[in-house]
Amino acid sequence: MLTESPTPMPVFRPPRLLHLWGRLTRGVTLGVRAAVIDAQGHILLVRHTYVAGWHLPGGGVDAGETAEEAIRRELVEEAAIRLTAPPRLHGLFLNTHLGSRDHVAVFVAGAFIAEAPCQPNREIAEAGFFPSHALPAATTPATRRRVVEIVEGLPPAAYW
């Protein structure tokens, strides 16, 4: 006995123009940060000239750049740190402080070369390695949360 197979439902495919409109009006921004950990377990933090507090080093991902390429570039620019092995992705976080579509990828790196002592410039006021249990008082809450997650081996939160 033959049975008829059900007719497949047509799949809705929005027109390309609709996709383009969505990309123009709902762009996602992506930033990167790194927890660079030295042999003593100290974590690299930077203090910017344009925003208060101590932060994990990082910045925005440029067009055509991978997140790993971006964090490697940012570490050289902000702290004269050159990674000698691929960093490990710790997590991807939604940062609602900068918009509803801003995300931050956080990497962990332990293999690096410090090329030169970081000198203050127009972007970075200070950079240094600090024990995870004795971060500077002005360390931002989000930075503190990421350090605790990484040091204690906790799963990353969803939000920055």
pLDDT at position 119: 80
Mean pLDDT of the chain: 88
29 or 149: which carries more pLDDT confidence?
Answer: 149
pLDDT at position 37: 98
pLDDT in tens, 87-133: 999 999 999 987 788 999 999 999 999 998 778 888 999 999 999 99
Structure tokens, 43: 């974590």
pLDDT in tens, 55-81: 999 999 999 999 999 999 999 999 999
Of how many residues is the chain composed? Answer: 160
Q: How far is CA 38 from CA 49, 65, 81, in A?
A: 24, 26, 11
144 or 101: which carries more pLDDT confidence?
Answer: 144
| C-alpha span between 14 and 134 (Å, rounded) | 53
Surface-to-core class of residue 75, CB atoms within 10 Å of its CB (0-12 exposed, 13-18 middle, 19+ buried): buried
Domains defined along the chain, listed by start:
28-152 (3.90.79.10)
Confidence label for 15 from pLDDT (cuts 50, 70 and 90):
low
For the entire predicted model, the pTM comes to: 0.82
7 or 33: which carries more pLDDT confidence?
Answer: 33
| C-alpha span between 110 and 114 (Å, rounded) | 11
pLDDT at position 100: 84
Q: Is the pLDDT of residue 39 over 90?
A: yes
pLDDT at position 27: 78
Measured torsion, CA atoms of residues 12, 14, 15, 20, in degrees rounded to the nearest 10: -160
- In the chain, where do the E strands start and end? 29-36, 42-48, 54-55, 58-60, 81-83, 88-94, 102-109, 112-114, 124-131
